[in-house]
Amino acid sequence: MKVYYCSIAYDGSRFTGFQVQPDLHTVQGYLRQTISECLQESIMVESASRTDAGVHALDQRVWFKTKTDTPAHKCPARINRWLEHVKIHQVAEVHPDFSWRNATHEKIYEYRIRFGHFHPFHEPYHWCIDDLKLAEQAQSMRPVLKLFEGEHDFELFSKHDRSRKIESHIRKVHGVELLEERTDSQPLWKIRIHGNGFLWMMVRFMVAYAFECLKGRITKNTIKDMLTIKGIDRSTRPVVVCAPASGLYLLKTLGTPQFISDTIWYEPNS
């Protein structure tokens, strides 16, 4: 029995999230079914992280045990012929005792905001905002985003779920950058956030609160207080509408396992 470790990309608008759920079309469930059919054996696909419905990925990491004779480097070409809206970048064989708990991974998320005129087919892949004046305030937005850098308590920038046992809400954000581009002659922002871990909906709440600050509805001090939970809690924090899932991309997973064997691993391009 071999263990194959993969980098995959998928269009999140086509799925109801990553994690397998009964009677729902999820990335994990679809991969399990399709790879099983392709390799003609029962496959259980495990993952490095989960994404919500509508969230996209360019470099999600998954792995599965297999008896196949197909070499790892030939698996993408074989399996991709069976897949729709999901693609495998590459596959590497890892040690049979591979455990996610023994691998250290960090992630880079990217949030995309399109300003101005947009068509319906833009909405599944961006947060579409028709106010062009906001696009002119990138210089004002950058200092707000920088507030999130460092090690903080991000509990108030996440969605609470009693079913998820979280020992600590402390996370370290290594860097946040705002890239300005244009697409179809319209302004496009890409907010990239590199961290050692992320809470549920954390990036989307960070973006939402940053925009509230940009619009003058809250202050930078409010964000600072929320990051230290200073005199503020879930019942007293400012109420915002979370940024939509459509703009969020798992851009890159960093920290390739050191026990990949017999295969050269190329970090996927973003």
Encode pLDDT of 191-234 as tens digits. 999 999 999 999 999 999 999 999 999 999 999 999 988 777 78
User: How many helices and strands (H and E) does the chain possess?
Assistant: 6, 11
pTM of the model: 0.92
| pLDDT at residue 15, rounded to an integer | 97
265, pLDDT greater than 90: no
Annotated active-site residue 130? The verdict is no
pLDDT digits (tens, 9 = 90+) for 123-178: 999 999 999 999 999 999 999 999 999 999 999 999 987 777 788 889 999 999 99
Distance CA 53, CA 13 (A): 7
pLDDT digits (tens, 9 = 90+) for 19-36: 999 999 999 999 999 999
Check: CB of residue 270 under 8 Å from CB of residue 109.
no
* Active-site hit among 11, 23, 52, 131: 52
Distance CA 213, CA 223 (A): 8
Per residue, what are the HEC states of 23-81?
Answer: CCCCHHHHHHHHHHHHHCCCCCCEECCCCCCCCEEEEEEEEEEECCCCCHHHHHHHHHC
